[in-house]
A and B are shown apart, each in its own frame.
Chain A
Amino acid sequence: MAHITASVYTSHVPAIGAALDQGKTGEPYWQPVFKGYDFSKQWMKDHTPDVIFLVYNDHATAFSLEMIPTFAIGCADRYQPADEGYGARPVPMVEGDAEFASHIAHSVIQDDFDLTIVNKMDVDHGLTVPLSLMFGQPDKWPCKVIPFAVNVVQYPVPSGQRCYNLGKAIGRAIASYDKPLNVQIWGTGGMSHQLQGPRAGLINKEFDNNFLDRLIADPEGLAKVPHIDYVREAGSEGIELVMWLIARGAMSAKPPKVAHRFYHVPASNTAVGHLILENQA
């Protein structure tokens, strides 16, 4: 049986990808950001899964306004890093797991969540920056990745509660797959940030740290926080945090072990938050 061993949460700031790709990780501005992932890179070496189920949001890359799926699961064998306007990031092709992804889609849709099935798409920084943060710059990603894109760009966007419940359905789907796979689920994007208008640059450390506390200890309660609180308190793009509830929902009901916690301000326009939670056997 496939089983979820851990969940990883991280911001996916595009400037972090650019800093890595341009060799700026040693600069004083970036050092504290990357230092927060030193533990994580070692942890990943020690805990490389077979498959990562990676929850992220597409940033007007694979999905334009022609089609706006609320939840989209990648069922392809491979995904090309996207050209977001600067040329594609120089990172490896992402290898998928079509059979496993199709199993999850089948199970989750029958569990009453309407997923959009995607058989061809490019993946943007939302997916590739977390991989870079956790694995560094290898020639090949060391495991397979199932991309799971959530619409947090055009309203209405899914609620925290729906994301949390969906995570539970994904957890059930993974547990029902009969191959003995070690699976991690990652929730990416988020922490306080606003990229638009005269309120650009909003950072709310108190809100962010409270979110991290509750994500660990009180996900049920945290799932009830309405959108407007995220937007008012954590900025218009702080709404991305609802995606972390998908990963948390897929975890076991037992309290997780906190393997790592990190928070830093700023990276470009945002706060950087990061957690590694291990499922307790």
Chain B
Amino acid sequence: MPLAKPYLDIPGTTIFDAEQSRKGFHLNQFCMSLMKAANRERFKANERAYLDEWPMSEEQKQAVLARDLNRCIALGGNIYFLAKIGATDGKSFQQMAGSMTGMTEDEYRNMMIAGGRSAEGNRKLGEDGDAQPHRQPQGAVGKTK
């Protein structure tokens, strides 16, 4: 019997389950290594060389180099692990989360101050909320791409 995964129809959301974890094992282990100051320095000095020390896929390495967190998550990354890349870059958790929406830092921050993103229209795929795939990217960053 297949495992129940009722969370696959939530828009803009990837649940970090065993399948994602297997895919992202080395990517996430690389992130863990950034908890040591010496490793952060080595990574910053030569990102590519540091990434090449890990048995990650080329796609995963490119996603890290581009700081494309959505891509990292699709490739098995988990936000709590990926946050260590942001920390190494001196970014706040809000900057990291905001970077995945296509909004500028100010747009995202203002959305949060205004009460955050509504659940209306964002509970299931096929609704019309702002997190739905057909409404991406959401903000000014995405529109200039």
Binding site for B on A (CB under 8 A): 14-15, 18, 29, 59-61, 64-66, 82-87, 153-156, 192, 194-205, 207, 227-228, 231-233, 236-237, 265-266, 268-269, 271
Contact of B123 with A232 in the complex, beta carbons under 8 Å:
yes
Q: Does B13 contact A (CB under 8 A)?
A: yes
Contact of B28 with A65 in the complex, beta carbons under 8 Å:
yes
A-B contact pairs, 26 of them (CB 8 A): A15-B93, A60-B28, A60-B83, A64-B28, A64-B29, A65-B25, A65-B28, A84-B35, A85-B34, A85-B86, A86-B87, A153-B16, A153-B80, A154-B18, A156-B18, A196-B69, A198-B11, A198-B100, A198-B101, A199-B12, A201-B97, A203-B112, A207-B119, A265-B112, A268-B93, A269-B93
Q: Does B60 contact A (CB under 8 A)?
A: no
Interface of A is mostly: loop
Interface residues contributed by chain B, number (CB under 8 Å): 61
Contact of B80 with A202 in the complex, beta carbons under 8 Å:
no
Q: Does B21 contact A (CB under 8 A)?
A: yes
Instruction: Answer whether A60 and B31 are a contact pair too, CB < 8 Å, given A199-B13, A265-B116.
Output: yes
Contact of A200 with B28 in the complex, beta carbons under 8 Å:
no
Q: Does B106 contact A (CB under 8 A)?
A: no
The smallest C-beta distance from A69 to any residue of chain B, in angstroms, reads 14
Question: Which among A83, A196, A207 has the highest number of chain B CB atoms within 10 Å?
Answer: A196
Contact of A85 with B116 in the complex, beta carbons under 8 Å:
no
Instruction: Answer whether A203 and B116 are a contact pair too, CB < 8 Å, given A83-B36, A85-B34.
Output: yes
Instruction: Answer whether A198 and B35 are a contact pair too, CB < 8 Å, given A15-B92, A233-B119, A268-B93.
Output: no
- With both beta carbons as reference points, the residue of chain A lying nearest to B3 in the complex is identified as A156
Which residues of chain A are near B40, meaning CB under 8 Å? 85
Contact of A199 with B131 in the complex, beta carbons under 8 Å:
yes
Q: Please, how many angstroms separate the alpha-carbon atoms of A232 and B6 in the complex?
A: 10
The smallest C-beta distance from A73 to any residue of chain B, in angstroms, reads 21
The smallest C-beta distance from B138 to any residue of chain A, in angstroms, reads 7
- With both beta carbons as reference points, the residue of chain B lying nearest to A18 in the complex is identified as B92
Q: Does B57 contact A (CB under 8 A)?
A: no
Contact of A197 with B70 in the complex, beta carbons under 8 Å:
yes
Contact of A203 with B81 in the complex, beta carbons under 8 Å:
no
Contact of B17 with A198 in the complex, beta carbons under 8 Å:
no
